[in-house]
Amino acid sequence: MKLSIEKKDYSKVKSEAVVLGVFEKFSFPKEPFCKTIEEEAKKARFDGNVGESFFLKGTHFDGKVVLVLGLGKEDEYSIEKIRVALSNAVRKLKERFIESAVFAIHPEKSKDDFKETISTIAEVIVLTNRKFDRYITDRKKLFFGLNEAIIVIKELNKKAEEGIKKGKTLSEAVVFARDLITLPSNEVTPTYLAQEAMSIAKAYNFKAKILNEKECKKLGMNAFLTVAQGSKNQPKFIHLTYQNENAKKSIGIIGKGLTFDSGGISLKPAQGMGAMKSDMSGAAAVLATMKAIGELKPEVNVEMIIAACENMPSGKAYRPGDIIYTMSGKSIEVQNTDAEGRLTLADAITYTQKQKVDEIIDLATLTGACMIALGPDIAGIMGNDQNLINSLISISKKTGDSLWQLPLEEGYFRFIKSPIADICNNSSVRWGGAITAGLFLKFFVEKKIKWAHIDIAGPAYRDDDLNENHKAEGAGFGVRLLVNYLLGQKKV
């Protein structure tokens, strides 16, 4: 898509359509046709609430279609409102098979930073417009949405230019993550993820290590390898390093990388198992983050880690009742082979700590329990440093990656104690599964390391359309969250 910003009268920009943003209480722009808008708005029961919209009858401005879009209260206009309203507008344009549009939605009136507002507008337009269609063979029946979008603003300035660049970069990164998640597991194997990582490393001159099974065994990554041993697809431990000469901090980002999770011997129900191709959504997010920071160059060092494998049932698969030793030397009693992600993450955390990082953030589709607690749109966050958690939650309100803090209740550790090993990978009770999974991971985190765990089981893969996300696709959840957090480290 061609995406640009212009200082121009929206009525004079060449396009098929105009998206005209208005605020509540009929605060329409002072134009000759405003009376017509007000009359049609009343018929459409349109009050200017966030996301409400209607098409004006006929065409205007030399044959343009006009979509009137509600932006809510002017004094509450923000990035959050823009995300909801604008995604609705792009969907409406696609329903009309419109290929070019100008967006007059008053970014200068946002209460948020102008650069971030422009970035958000760019992200929403690109991501709502773009739909995964790789496997549709009848291309003639497909409509690919907008091929040109122009954002009109009052003044062209450096912030506007930086905002459009950031928005393009972030949206491209999120699309990359979404595609990785949506692609099927017969294509996206651990080797495929490793190849994608190497391509990113070469493109941005990152240091890269791809450890094979033999190398992982030498390092003592028995928990990771145990999960992988049931599959014919070989595991890959992926490590990318980004370094900035002005960095004062080193941050580890870990993504859960189960390219398919059958549950292993503790086999999942058949219904819904196909969606388990998305069990590498954390890996997709951190890979996409590296792609974005290669362009945006934050002033921080980053160690990206993915323990990529499949969890499959076979004669070689691990069993309930097995006891394994981790890279840390601690032992785990396995009681459920479908609680596999925490095993791979245990070794990933230990390895990351050896890279002398100051902080670790992990993203994982870890528990159905988190989805039961928070639903399909919100990820759970927990950790050992409240300032880190607060910072991520604050950023999430701007990026659309909704977070809610869950408590790491130390008393619940009794539910994952093992009578014959250091810890058990499955809780002895049904309740609080997201918290006990978090406590399991914390068991492997050194006290000196600031750590946040984000359980993205709910929002990682969409069952419905939501804002700029599409049904039956990966969401790319966490990419913008991580990138913005890393960019913020230049202030440290």
Q: Which residues pair with 148 in a beta bridge?
A: 2, 100
Rounded Cα distance between 480 and 170, Å, is 7
- What pLDDT sits at residue 31? 60
State how far Cα 197 lies from the chain centre.
17
Residue 405: its H or E element: strand 403-405
Residue identified by tokens 């909801």 is 84
| Cβ proximity of 365 and 453 under 8 Å | no
- Annotated catalytic residues are 268, 342
- What pLDDT sits at residue 90? 98
For the chain, 492 residues long, give each residue's pLDDT as a single digit of tens: 999 999 988 888 999 999 999 998 766 556 666 677 888 888 889 999 998 999 998 888 888 999 999 999 999 999 999 999 999 999 999 999 999 999 999 999 999 999 999 999 999 999 999 999 999 999 988 999 999 999 999 989 999 999 999 999 999 999 999 999 999 999 999 999 999 999 999 999 999 999 999 999 999 999 999 999 999 999 999 999 999 999 999 999 999 999 999 999 999 999 999 999 999 999 999 999 999 999 999 999 999 999 999 999 999 999 999 999 999 999 999 999 999 999 999 999 999 999 999 999 999 999 999 999 999 999 999 999 999 999 999 999 999 999 999 999 999 999 999 999 999 999 999 999 999 999 999 999 999 999 999 999 999 999 999 999 999 999 999 999 999 999 999 654
In Å, what is the CA distance from 408 to each residue of 106, 139, 440? Answer: 42, 50, 10
- What pLDDT sits at residue 58? 85
> Which amino acid is residue 163, in one-letter code?
G
Rounded Cα distance between 367 and 439, Å, is 13
Rounded Cα distance between 334 and 318, Å, is 9
Nearest to 41 by CA among 63, 24, 17, 19: 24
- What pLDDT sits at residue 25? 74
> Please, what are the domains in the chain?
2-153 (3.40.220.10), 176-491 (3.40.630.10)
Q: What is the pTM of this model?
A: 0.96
| Cβ proximity of 94 and 79 under 8 Å | no
Nearest to 124 by CA among 80, 162, 158: 80
Residue identified by tokens 């840390």 is 328
- What pLDDT sits at residue 492? 40
Rounded Cα distance between 344 and 237, Å, is 10
Q: Which residues pair with 5 in a beta bridge?
A: 151
If one counts every other C-beta atom within 10 angstroms of the C-beta of residue 219, the result is 16
- What pLDDT sits at residue 407? 97
| Cβ proximity of 209 and 296 under 8 Å | no
In Å, what is the CA distance from 153 to each residue of 8, 89, 111, 150? Answer: 7, 18, 15, 10
